[in-house]
Structure 1
Amino acid sequence: MVNIEKSQSGSTITVKINGVIQEGVEFDKLIGTPSGGELVINTKDVKRINSTGVKHWIQYFQKIAANGVKLRFSECSPPIVDQINLIKNFTCGGSIESISAPFSCAGCNSQFISVLAIADLRKLQGKMPEPPCPKCKAKTVFDDSPEEYLAFLKRS
């Protein structure tokens, strides 16, 4: 099940999508069909997206992009980053501002998600930062392969 939180400031609509994107998702009803302006899509809390969810996603965002809506994706969750890497036009021409990346700490054995700005990642040229652990401040490691997780940066 998907839940949407929606707010608007001027011509910019911001939506926060959370839950599982799958069969039965109706973005038209949940978000609406804006024309013109800007739509900021925060997917930090998207837990999973299946193949039918991907189909609905692409159909919806292609349609509103064709209506002149500028798409911006922020805090893309790991399942969304996976789809961005797998499907060339998953963002339907929109820009990616930031991603959520999984890290772990050997010091206190905790795991956490860190939000990383795309502009900062480009400066690191394919390497992941090493944010301090929010619990114990020890050095952390990225919980995936940077080359695979950040592969989409080479396309954009």
Structure 2
Amino acid sequence: MLNVIKEQKDAALLVRLVGSIEEGVQFEQLLGNVPAELIVNCKEVPRINSVGVKAWIRYFQSLQTKGVRLRFVECSSAIIEQVNLISNFVPADSVESFFVPFACTKCKSELLGLYSSAAIKKLQGNVPAQTCPKCGGSAEFDDIPEEYFGFLTR
């Protein structure tokens, strides 16, 4: 079940999506009236199924048609997966920041690093290793750069 936490941020509405996006999601009811700018925080979206994807596309495309500026921040890996798979999942250049998966080469822990789209573009997908907070070892990017960062080149 999806919950939404709303906060006014200057002229924009910031919404934090919390939970899985699945059958029965009603974005119109959850978000209500939307101003000219909507910032969507997707940090706490662990999963989105095919029905959720359809509802997402339908809702956010309707907002685009109305001229709403959409910005997506702190996107989870589940959201980035859909952004890469479905070309119209979000408008071009609307993902401002997202989580990048890392795995420690020493203790095998998994961790996430938050990056801006601009930073990853500058790095050309060559994400530097992180220090593992558990053991101090080296945590390497844990995906295929061309696939995980593919949406940035569209």
1:80-122 deviation per Cα after TM superposition (whole angstroms, max 9, x unaligned): 1010001111113561111111111123332111111111101
- C-alpha RMSD of the superposition: 1.4
Q: Which residue of 2 aligns with 1:144?
A: 143
Q: 1:48 aligns to what SS in structure 2? A: coil
Q: 1:107 aligns to what SS in structure 2? A: coil
Equivalent pair of 2:93/2:152 in contact (CA under 8 Å) = no
Structure 1 residue 126, shift from structure 2 partner: 2.1
Paired amino acid for 1:104? A
Equivalent pair of 1:35/1:64 in contact (CA under 8 Å) = no
Gaps of 5+ in 2: none
Q: 1:49 aligns to what SS in structure 2? A: coil
Q: TM-score, normalised by structure 1?
A: 0.92
Q: Which residue of 1 aligns with 2:21?
A: 21
Moved over 4 A (4+): none
5 Å-filtered alignment, 1:6-155, equals 6-36=6-36, 38-93=37-92, 95-155=94-154
Q: TM-score, normalised by structure 2?
A: 0.93
Number of equivalences: 154
Paired amino acid for 2:103? S
Q: 1:47 aligns to what SS in structure 2? A: coil
CA distance in 2, matches of 1:63, 1:86: 20
CA distance in 2, matches of 1:61, 1:91: 8
Which deviates more from structure 2 when the two are superposed, residues 105-114 or residues 3-12? 105-114
Say which structure is richer in strand: 1
Identity, in percent, stands at 47
CA distance in 2, matches of 1:10, 1:66: 23
